[in-house]
């Protein structure tokens, strides 16, 4: 009996040592995860969450929640107008119309609250607090719209500058035997600008089954650039009438270059008028101070001005 108990105790001790020495069943899976991740320690859920940028963790969800609230009370026409403006600007942050309006509202509330807190700490009168709080809120609400307008103008100027060179490349490719769609693809491969992105979107819409005319008209609507509208109208008319696209592209290229030269001459003629303000208010006063400053000091030292 004692021998049996001793044998069982010894067997239990052996099994405990075997259990402690045996590898963890999850070690193989853990090793594979570490091998693929290239890290020495496993990644926790907290680390994964903290690796996401602050804007994606905090700002974007807050903007989306406000956007969902705004969508219920905003007219569809206002949302459509905002969406069109975002398209004109290239939508650099991939915002929807409701998200952009939510961002405007959040910016207004935050800026107004910041100024109200600031003037409260400074112990300013309540009238001054309300005045500057209202101005700050209006600024926070209007500034995103002003920023969007500047992005639209910047993108349209970029398209206008890139269009003549793109038409030259289109003309060369079409005259070399490529189709119009393949020539547009060459422009996309060659450059990385707003016009190339629009061409890429046109090609994508055509591949998805949309007619070329409709895809080109959509590009003209997304840019609202007069030169692009003229170019699209010429291509559609050439396609309908069976005119050589290469010849149309050559004519359009010459016209675009002539218009660019005319714009440069127009800006050159406007330069003297634009220089008038800095000359009168910044340069001329400095010149008068440099020229008349010593004379005025001498007159003051002689006491001539004191007699008057």
Q: Which long-range contacts (CB under 8 A, 24 or more apart) does 202-208 make?
A: 206/181
- The reply to whether 122 and 181 lie within a common domain is no
Residue with tokens 């291509």: 235
Q: 150 falls in which pLDDT band (50, 70, 90)?
A: very high
Given a cut of 60, whether residue 114 has pLDDT beyond it is yes
Q: 307 falls in which pLDDT band (50, 70, 90)?
A: low
Whole-model pTM: value is 0.71
- The reply to whether 143 and 219 lie within a common domain is no
- The reply to whether 185 and 207 lie within a common domain is yes
Q: Mean pLDDT, to the nearest integer, of 264-277?
A: 84
Looking at the 3D structure of the chain, how many domains does it have?
A: 3
The predicted structure's pLDDT at residue 44: 60
Mean of the per-residue pLDDT values for the chain?
Answer: 81
Q: 296 falls in which pLDDT band (50, 70, 90)?
A: confident
The predicted structure's pLDDT at residue 278: 80
Chain CA centroid to CA 308, Å: 63
Q: Mean pLDDT, to the nearest integer, of 30-47?
A: 57
The predicted structure's pLDDT at residue 157: 92
Q: Give the model confidence (pLDDT) of 213-266 as tens digits.
A: 999 999 999 999 999 999 999 999 988 888 888 889 998 888 888 888 888 888
- The reply to whether 24 and 82 lie within a common domain is no
Residue 145 included in any domain: yes
- The reply to whether 173 and 91 lie within a common domain is no
194: Cβ–Cβ under 8 A, 6 or more apart, which residues? 90, 155, 158, 159, 162
Residue 58 included in any domain: yes
Q: 13 falls in which pLDDT band (50, 70, 90)?
A: very low
Residue 289 included in any domain: no
- The reply to whether 160 and 246 lie within a common domain is yes
- The reply to whether 71 and 104 lie within a common domain is yes
CA distances from 213 to 34, 184, 200, 240 (A): 53, 14, 15, 10
- The reply to whether 216 and 129 lie within a common domain is no
Q: Kindly provide the b/e burial profile for residues 157-194, where b requires at least 16 CB atoms within 10 angstroms of the residue's own CB.
A: eebbebbbbbbbbbbbbbeeeeebeebbbbbbeebebb
- The reply to whether 96 and 148 lie within a common domain is yes
The predicted structure's pLDDT at residue 210: 92
Residue 250 included in any domain: yes
Find the domain containing 29 and state its range. 11-51
Residue 277 included in any domain: no
How many whole angstroms separate alpha carbon 167 and alpha carbon 176?
14
Among 47-51, 142-146, 296-300, top mean pLDDT goes to 142-146
Chain CA centroid to CA 2, Å: 84
């Amino acid at each position: 009996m004692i021998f049996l108990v001793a044998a069982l105790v010894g067997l239990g001790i052996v099994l405990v040592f075997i259990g402690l020495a045996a590898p963890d069943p999850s070690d193989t899976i853990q090793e594979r995860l570490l091998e693929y991740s290239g890290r020495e320690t496993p990644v926790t859920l907290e680390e994964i969450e903290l690796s996401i940028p602050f804007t994606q963790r905090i700002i974007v969800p807050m903007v989306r929640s406000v956007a969902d609230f705004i969508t219920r009370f905003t007219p569809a026409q206002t949302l459509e107008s905002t969406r069109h403006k975002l398209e004109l600007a290239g939508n650099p942050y991939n915002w929807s119309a409701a998200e952009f309006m939510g961002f405007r509202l959040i910016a207004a509330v935050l800026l107004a609250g910041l100024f109200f807190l600031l003037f409260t700490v400074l112990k300013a009168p309540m009238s001054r607090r309300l005045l500057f709080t209202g101005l700050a809120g209006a600024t926070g609400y209007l500034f995103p719209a002003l920023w969007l307008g500047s992005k639209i103008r910047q993108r349209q100027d970029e398209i206008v500058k890139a269009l003549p060179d793109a038409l030259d490349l289109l003309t060369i490719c079409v005259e070399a035997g490529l189709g119009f769609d393949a020539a547009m693809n060459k422009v996309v491969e060659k450059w990385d600008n707003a016009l190339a992105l629009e061409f890429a979107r046109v090609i994508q819409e055509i591949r998805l089954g949309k007619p070329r005319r409709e895809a080109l008209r959509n590009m003209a609507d997304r840019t609202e650039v007069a030169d692009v509208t003229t170019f699209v109208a010429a291509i559609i008319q050439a396609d309908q009438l069976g005119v050589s696209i290469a010849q149309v592209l050559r004519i359009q290229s010459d016209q675009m270059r002539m218009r660019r030269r005319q714009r440069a001459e127009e800006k050159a003629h406007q330069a003297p008028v634009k220089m008038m303000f800095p000359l009168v208010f910044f340069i001329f006063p400095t010149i008068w101070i440099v020229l008349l400053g010593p004379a005025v000091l001498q007159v003051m030292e002689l006491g001539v001005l004191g007699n008057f």
